[in-house]
């Protein structure tokens, strides 16, 4: 029942590749046929780089969802969504018979997962980003079908103007302007009047939940801004609407939107001890620059780090209030280690 939208039972139209990462390619029913009122699906294939496992991602995804269901109270104000995970298929799955004909001819069965589609930003937001941040032919960018799946990556730990920290060594300039996984840096967030403080608090709440409730290290987890779910949002988490927090972002620049987290294939288990603190600090620095960072070269960056740190400690305290003293000290130790290890775990320019 979970793969109908991706199968020939639903349509003979070719599925559209809407993403490509180290783990594999991502496919979905093309626009404008997607019904935004329903929970659309994506197919993620394990056809990327060696050493990446969709089964591992599926298992970590479900560990996080199970922790969310078991949590009586996740401290958060603004909404954080986690995609629903429906199905894992290996190369022998009978579901491939009704899916492969909607993929290019050379594609064969492999490990794959089916999950909820994160609905992209609408055309008016794509136009805004193109006009503000691209000096070329904006119409060509907007009308390019590959840019329809526009998700925004909020980089609170980086500006366009220079290096934010010794751990952040990748090139700044976009050689090709693409709206897929669009990197929106802190200075751009400020320019658009978007709520950087609230984004920082949401990331802090999420990281506290992942570390202390789900007990995962959050290695290479991705944050994106996208459309809100169209169904009425319950304040409590549910299996059909996994997430926490109830308030939506309502910025006038890009309209109502929500924070989503995804990509769990690199996540590892986190132990509740000093070794876990060291592991979590390394993962913090090795991730893309979503989080505010200590030692920023800008006053806004420094202030945002303090917002993030205070919120993380507060959320962690609420989550760990029933734990023993040694465990309750771990969030503070983690924040200290992040400061102490600034520049120790630089991510390479190629990621």
12-50 pLDDT per residue, tens: 899 999 998 888 899 998 876 555 555 589 999 999 777
Q: Which two tokens stand for residue 31?
A: 């626009």
Instruction: Please indicate, yes or no, whether residues 8 and 96 belong to a single structural domain of this protein.
Output: yes
Instruction: Please indicate, yes or no, whether residues 184 and 292 belong to a single structural domain of this protein.
Output: yes
Q: Residue 160: its pLDDT value, please?
A: 87
Q: Residue 348: its pLDDT value, please?
A: 47
131 assigned to some structural domain: yes
75 assigned to some structural domain: no
Instruction: Please indicate, yes or no, whether residues 43 and 152 belong to a single structural domain of this protein.
Output: no
351 assigned to some structural domain: no
Cβ atoms of 191 and 322 within 8 Å: the answer is: no
Instruction: Please indicate, yes or no, whether residues 293 and 163 belong to a single structural domain of this protein.
Output: yes
DSSP 8-class letter at 210: I
Q: Which of 148, 40, 48, 20 is nearest to 84 (CA)?
A: 40
Instruction: Please indicate, yes or no, whether residues 331 and 266 belong to a single structural domain of this protein.
Output: yes
Instruction: Please indicate, yes or no, whether residues 257 and 128 belong to a single structural domain of this protein.
Output: yes
Q: Sign of the CA dihedral 304, 305, 307, 308?
A: positive
Instruction: Please indicate, yes or no, whether residues 167 and 216 belong to a single structural domain of this protein.
Output: yes
Instruction: Please indicate, yes or no, whether residues 109 and 214 belong to a single structural domain of this protein.
Output: no
Q: Which of 226, 213, 215 is nearest to 184 (CA)?
A: 226
323 assigned to some structural domain: yes
| Count of structural domains, the chain | 2
Among 72, 96, 117, identify where a domain stops: 117
112-116 and 182-185 beta bridge pairing = unpaired
Instruction: Please indicate, yes or no, whether residues 15 and 131 belong to a single structural domain of this protein.
Output: no
Q: Residue 166: its pLDDT value, please?
A: 39
Instruction: Please indicate, yes or no, whether residues 201 and 315 belong to a single structural domain of this protein.
Output: yes
Instruction: Please indicate, yes or no, whether residues 133 and 92 belong to a single structural domain of this protein.
Output: no
Among 117, 139, 172, identify where a domain stops: 117
246 assigned to some structural domain: no
151 assigned to some structural domain: yes
What lies within 8 Å, CB to CB, of 37 at 6+ separation is 230, 231
Q: Residue 137: its pLDDT value, please?
A: 81
Partner residues linked to 112 by β-bridges: 45, 89
Cβ atoms of 337 and 278 within 8 Å: the answer is: yes
Q: Which of 27, 21, 22, 115 is nearest to 64 (CA)?
A: 115
214 assigned to some structural domain: yes
350 assigned to some structural domain: no
User: How many Å apart are CA 312 and CA 75, to the nearest integer?
Assistant: 10
Q: Residue 163: its pLDDT value, please?
A: 46
Instruction: Give the residues of the chain that fall short of pLDDT 50.
Output: 163-174, 232-237, 348-351
Q: Which value, to the nearest 10 degrees, does the dihedral of the CA atoms of residues 98, 92, 240, 202 take? A: -110
For the sheet with 112-116, list strands across it. 16-20, 25-28, 41-45, 112-116, 85-89
Instruction: Please indicate, yes or no, whether residues 139 and 99 belong to a single structural domain of this protein.
Output: no
Q: pTM of the full predicted structure? A: 0.90
- The range of the structural domain enclosing residue 136 comes to 123-222+253-340
């Amino acid at each position: 029942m979970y793969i109908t939208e991706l199968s020939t039972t639903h349509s003979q139209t070719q599925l559209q590749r809407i993403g490509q990462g180290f783990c594999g390619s991502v496919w979905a029913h093309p626009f404008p046929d997607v019904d935004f009122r329903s929970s659309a699906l994506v197919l993620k294939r394990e056809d990327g780089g060696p050493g990446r496992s969709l089964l591992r991602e599926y298992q970590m995804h479900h560990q996080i969802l199970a922790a969310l269901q078991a949590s009586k109270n996740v401290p958060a104000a603004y909404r954080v969504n986690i995609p629903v995970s429906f199905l894992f298929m290996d190369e022998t799955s009978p579901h491939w018979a009704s899916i492969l004909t909607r993929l290019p001819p050379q594609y064969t069965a492999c490990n794959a997962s089916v999950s909820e589609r994160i609905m992209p930003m609408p055309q008016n937001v794509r136009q805004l980003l193109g006009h503000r941040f691209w000096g070329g032919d904006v119409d060509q960018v907007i009308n390019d079908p590959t840019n329809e799946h526009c998700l925004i990556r909020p980089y609170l730990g980086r500006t366009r103007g220079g290096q934010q920290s010794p751990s952040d060594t990748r090139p700044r300039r976009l050689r090709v302007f693409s709206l897929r996984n669009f990197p929106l840096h802190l200075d751009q967030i400020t320019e658009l009047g978007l709520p950087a403080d609230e984004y920082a608090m949401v990331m802090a709440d999420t990281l506290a939940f992942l570390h202390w409730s789900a007990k995962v290290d959050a290695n290479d987890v991705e944050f994106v801004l996208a459309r809100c779910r169209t169904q009425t949002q319950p304040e409590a988490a549910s299996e059909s609407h996994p997430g926490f927090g109830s308030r939506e972002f309502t910025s006038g620049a890009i309209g109502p939107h929500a924070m989503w987290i995804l990509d769990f294939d690199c996540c590892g288990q986190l132990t509740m001890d000093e070794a876990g603190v060291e592991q979590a600090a390394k993962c913090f620095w090795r991730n893309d620059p979503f989080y505010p960072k200590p030692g920023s070269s800008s006053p806004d960056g420094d202030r945002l780090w303090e917002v993030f740190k205070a919120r993380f400690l507060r959320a962690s305290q609420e989550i760990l209030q029933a734990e023993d003293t040694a465990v309750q000290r771990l969030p503070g130790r983690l924040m200290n280690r992040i400061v102490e290890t600034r520049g120790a775990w630089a991510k390479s320019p190629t990621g």
